[in-house]
Amino acid sequence: MDITERELSAPWEGVLAAPLHGSKVGVLVLAGSSGRIEHERARLLARHGVTALAIRWFGGPGQPSGICEVPLETFTTAVDLLRNGGAQRIAVLGVSKGAEAALLTAVYDPRVDAVVALSPTSRVWCNVGPGHDGAQHPYRSSWTWRGRPLPFVPMDDSWTPGEPVTGPVAIRGWYERSEQTFAQLLPPAEIPVDRTGADLLLVAGADDAMWPSLPYAEQLAGRRRSAGAAVRLISHPDAGHRPRLPGESPALPSPRFHYGGTPEADALLGRTAWPHILNALGAETPPRPTD
């Protein structure tokens, strides 16, 4: 499918990719803590009939340099743009910290009709990097709503990876230790997905080495089911933190972090989830070949 693509510079940096014939479906595409604009993912979605808006939501002009007290209004403003462009169905697709943002946006903005959360968390975590003041500590919430920080779980800085590590580090244990240390802070920090009417699709790998996204996804699914709301969870035992969708380039290895999984398992999880993602978004699927 032929698409158009437009670079945006205000109110945030981003790219708007859309099919030439237009679309009544708009999806906001959010990266994780890399801070990048997901150009490739936006183009992929546009080729399947949706208007895809990928934005830089921290680290850009006028934004905190880290994921520190990022206003959720950053994302509701993006919903405004999609709605004003004619989208009648709004979805948010995010990975990792972007999935955290996607889930929270659906909780606070009733215009969101669907969320696709890749490698999600079930609770609000503290900042990753500095805020506007340039300080990383003391820990603060990753998010604010209407100027007020959301309750969050801080990190236990006494954690170490154990054996001396000379290469990329797996930090899943840091999150698990922090949950134990700050157990009393978990309940107010839980993301109340039972309060959104949006359709919810969760995608997680059991071998995620960044944080335990599959247990988190199971917690989110349980919260939804206890409220009588629908949810779908797609998982793979050997996939890690970075599922790859069909047509996307393989993820590059990181010199800092071990993400878990294998390229083959991450791609398989993406392929398995892909038709469910298209269905959740309300995207077009290509016709099946005939004999």
pLDDT at 284: 67
pLDDT at 214: 98
Asked whether the predicted pLDDT for residue 164 surpasses 80, the reply is no
pLDDT interval class at 165 (50, 70, 90): confident
What's the whole-number mean pLDDT along residues 144-161? Answer: 97
pLDDT, tens digit (0-9, with 9 covering 90-100), for 141-151: 999 999 999 99
Specify the range with the lowest mean pLDDT, choosing from 246-250, 263-267, 280-284, 286-290.
Answer: 286-290
pLDDT, tens digit (0-9, with 9 covering 90-100), for 127-137: 999 999 999 99
What's the whole-number mean pLDDT along residues 58-80? Answer: 97
pLDDT at 285: 58
Q: Give the 3-state secondary structure of residue 117.
A: strand
Specify the range with the lowest mean pLDDT, choosing from 129-138, 167-176, 277-286.
Answer: 277-286
Residues making up the chain, counted from first to last? 291
pLDDT, tens digit (0-9, with 9 covering 90-100), for 20-60: 998 999 999 999 999 999 999 999 999 999 999 999 999 99
CATH class of the domain at 3-281: alpha beta
Asked whether the predicted pLDDT for residue 166 surpasses 60, the reply is yes
d(CA 7, CA 279): 27
d(CA 153, CA 185): 6
Beta partners for residue 85, in sequence order = none
Determine the distance from the C-alpha atom of residue 119 to the mean position of all C-alpha atoms in its chain, rounded to a whole number: 7
Mean pLDDT of the chain: 95
pLDDT, tens digit (0-9, with 9 covering 90-100), for 194-236: 999 999 999 999 999 999 999 999 999 999 999 999 999 999 9
pLDDT at 289: 40
- Cα dihedral 30, 8, 71, 139 sign: positive
d(CA 181, CA 171): 16
Torsions phi, psi of 249, nearest 5?
Answer: -70, 150
**Better-scored residue on pLDDT, 165 or 7:** 7
Pairing of β 51-55 and β 25-30: parallel
d(CA 291, CA 277): 27
pLDDT at 18: 97
**Per residue in 261-289, is it b (16+ CB within 10 Å) or e — as a string?**
beeebbbbbbeebbebbbebbbbeeeeee
pLDDT, tens digit (0-9, with 9 covering 90-100), for 92-105: 999 999 999 999 99
Pairing of β 25-30 and β 14-19: unpaired
Q: Which two tokens stand for residue 15?
A: 């790219």
pLDDT at 290: 40
Asked whether the predicted pLDDT for residue 74 surpasses 50, the reply is yes
Asked whether the predicted pLDDT for residue 252 surpasses 90, the reply is no
pLDDT interval class at 174 (50, 70, 90): very high
pTM for this one? 0.95
pLDDT at 172: 98
Nearest-Å Rg of the Cα atoms of the chain is: 18
d(CA 46, CA 130): 33
Domain coordinates of the chain in residue numbers? 3-281
pLDDT interval class at 287 (50, 70, 90): very low
CA distances to 83, 151, 156 from 275, in Å = 24, 35, 39
